[in-house]
A = this chain, B = another copy of it.
């Protein structure tokens, strides 16, 4: 599927994407959440929405291409071709693309002992399309380069007020004495509302746990009992270290990691 070089996805990042984990039996347990976020982004951008069957067909094509291997299907929807400069055309035909990749490689040790994080230097600025997974991702590319250059496992991005927001490609949770905490990205007007973050928030609350969503200063993380990161592809990974601070891998995080992995791999192991 070659792309028209005049596509507005290339020209301006005028579109959204989702990376969907697929089980060996071709299931994608978080698909409904991915689809909802994708449609939300398209609506906010005023991009014509492909039908659910069009999206499903693209996902199915990706799943077929994986050929029974667990993996990732990435779906991209752009506004399509046209318009004069930044102004979108009155009616454009959205472009729907799919591509596949293998599961990312996190080592056994990283999965068991947790990740060592650094603090990314550049803040995560507010974003008129915050929450959505749009194609303007240079902040993440820059931050991910910093992670690689510094030799960290991942990098934590702070708001301009130095509040923890998220990692370059994962969302953050922390365990405090009597509650779980996640950053309020909507209040910050920055970051990506992860589908795994939403799934875990709902699962924890459904299980009777208290999950608080607000913005906190970086210093407050030090008083957390434990931290973890999550996304829809790898699931849950504990954080063992951020700059000079250390945390143990909590039993509760290990349990969450295991149940999430089971969920993502499909209840019948592939």
Contact = CB atoms under 8 A, between A and B. Distances in A.
* Copies of chain A in the complex: 2
B138 A134 contact: yes
Interface string A4-36: 111111111110010000000000000000000
Interface in A110-158: 122, 125-129, 134-145, 147-148
A85 B99 contact: no
Contacts of A6: 99
A208 interface: no
Contacts of A142: 45, 128-129
Contacts of A46: 145
Contact of A140 (B12, B78, B139): B12
A46 B144 CA distance: 12
Contact of A138 (B45, B84, B99): B45
A2 interface: yes
Interface string A29-65: 0000000000000000110000000000000000000
A97 interface: yes
